[in-house]
Amino acid sequence: MLEPLGSQQSDILKHLEGLQSALSDKLARRTESYSLTFPSVTGATWSDALSSINALIKRHNSETDDFEQRLNANFAKIETHYLSTIEQDVKTVSALIAAVEENIRVCSDGDPVSKTPGIDELSKRIKENRAKISNSQQAAAELSAKLAAFLGRDDLRFEPEGEGYRIMRFGRAAKRLSEGEKTAITFLYFVVGLGDQDFNLSEGIVVIDDPISSLDSSSVYQAFAYLKNAVKNAKQIFLLTHNFEFLKLLLNWFQHIPKPKQNGKSTYWMLHCSLKQGTSRETVIQPLDKVLLQNKNEFAYLLKELMKFESDGTIHTAYPIPNIIRKVLETFLEQHSTGQSLYAKLENLDFEESKKTALYKFANDLSHPTFAGLDPALVGETQTNIRHLVEMIKIVAPIHFKALTETIGALKEV
């Protein structure tokens, strides 16, 4: 388009130059009369070229003026296309955002439905727990001191942790506690629990079942001291034990407590296992045997149980006898013979050999747990070996035997 316009421009300029030259010639000959013919020039081509250029410029201007609008429209189309490909992801993320916002709200304000505390409630609890920690530190120190006195060593300590305590050994978390240590800790926890404000000790009933189980003998007296001080103000106390030494401590304590007699009945009782028509076992409560009350050891009581035993021909009645015989035999030989073992002590004792052999076999074999089942011979041998044992005590230690029989009272002649 520019080339025709340039050509037309050149033609017009030449025509104008020719017209100027003719006018100059006319001016020089203004006294003469002459005629001049000069071709006319049409501007159609020029106008057409100018119109085309103006139309192009107008179109370019329009493109420029609408560029920003079309650009934004195209961006919108691209965005719509992209979002359509990730619509599900957007929904998922939106749901997650909503859940997080809800969690933030719950953390901030709390949730009464789920009873979840908010920031203000947690701040209040932290303040209260910090106040408790100072008390927990003191309580931990007191518990540690009691445990050290109980065990006779201070390697175990209580350290506050959360709302409770962690048991430490030499600064590290205690592991593999012995049964005695577990018993001591449990017992101390029980003693401390008696002081709980929700329990009125002076109007309460306290039941304690064998508190010194698995304790070392050196800890029995400490356990008794703590127990005595912990329950002395209780309205009523039930104490159960399998340990004779602990029983004697309890009896000595109770005998010095002033109390009214109730119908002349004993306040000491024992659980006695018996047979019901020879087919089943049952436990009955009976007054504590006077032999246990009056003697400092259980030897006399065990001997009394043997001397009054009468076999009814069943394994049920004979079952506990081997253990009782072994305990009586070991105690007696410890005082009246020498040797490093039960067999050696029996060998060194001046008594009939065949009876010693039978007695050792019965006490040693049948008082140990086996997986072979109960030997039926147990029944027939029971009464015989009781006679052997009582006869041995009577022959080897006649003075001791006389004192024992006077202690346990007149029994059947063996």
Summarize pLDDT for 132-158 with one digit per residue, the tens.
555 667 778 888 888 887 777 888 998
| Structural domain containing residue 52 | 2-30+38-79
Most confident of 71-85, 127-141, 203-217, 361-375: 71-85
- Please indicate, yes or no, whether residues 53 and 151 belong to a single structural domain of this protein: no
Residue 383 lies in a domain: yes
User: What values do phi and psi take at 293, rounded to 5?
Assistant: -70, -35
Helix or strand run (H / E) with residue 83: helix 67-85
Summarize pLDDT for 306-361 with one digit per residue, the tens.
888 877 777 777 777 888 888 888 888 888 888 888 888 888 888 888 888 888 88
Alpha-helix runs per DSSP H in 208-320: 217-231, 244-255, 290-294, 299-307, 315-318
Q: What is the pLDDT of residue 266?
A: 45
Residue 245 lies in a domain: no
Contacts of 311 by beta carbon, 8 Å cutoff, 6+ apart: 317, 318, 379, 382, 383
- Please indicate, yes or no, whether residues 318 and 400 belong to a single structural domain of this protein: yes
- Please indicate, yes or no, whether residues 362 and 316 belong to a single structural domain of this protein: yes
- Please indicate, yes or no, whether residues 61 and 122 belong to a single structural domain of this protein: no
- Please indicate, yes or no, whether residues 18 and 121 belong to a single structural domain of this protein: no
Residue 328 lies in a domain: yes
Contacts of 209 by beta carbon, 8 Å cutoff, 6+ apart: 240
Q: Name the pLDDT band for 371 (thresholds 50, 70, 90).
A: very low
Residue 263 lies in a domain: no
CB 310 within 8 A of CB 353: no
Average model confidence (pLDDT) for the chain? 77
The structure tokens listed for 163 are: 């709302």
Of the listed ranges 78-82, 142-146, 242-246, the least confidently predicted one is 242-246
Specify the number of domains making up the chain. Answer: 3
- Please indicate, yes or no, whether residues 330 and 388 belong to a single structural domain of this protein: yes
Q: What is the pLDDT of residue 130?
A: 59
Q: Which amino acid is at 226?
A: Y
Summarize pLDDT for 19-72 with one digit per residue, the tens.
778 778 777 777 777 666 666 666 666 677 677 778 878 887 777 777 788 888
Residue 192 lies in a domain: no
Residue 373 lies in a domain: yes
Q: Name the pLDDT band for 169 (thresholds 50, 70, 90).
A: very high
- Please indicate, yes or no, whether residues 132 and 45 belong to a single structural domain of this protein: no
- Please indicate, yes or no, whether residues 65 and 162 belong to a single structural domain of this protein: no
- Please indicate, yes or no, whether residues 387 and 310 belong to a single structural domain of this protein: yes
Residue 402 lies in a domain: yes
CA-CA-CA-CA torsion sign (90, 96, 99, 105): negative
Summarize pLDDT for 128-137 with one digit per residue, the tens.
665 555 566 7
Residue 181 lies in a domain: no
- Please indicate, yes or no, whether residues 54 and 142 belong to a single structural domain of this protein: no
- Please indicate, yes or no, whether residues 324 and 374 belong to a single structural domain of this protein: yes
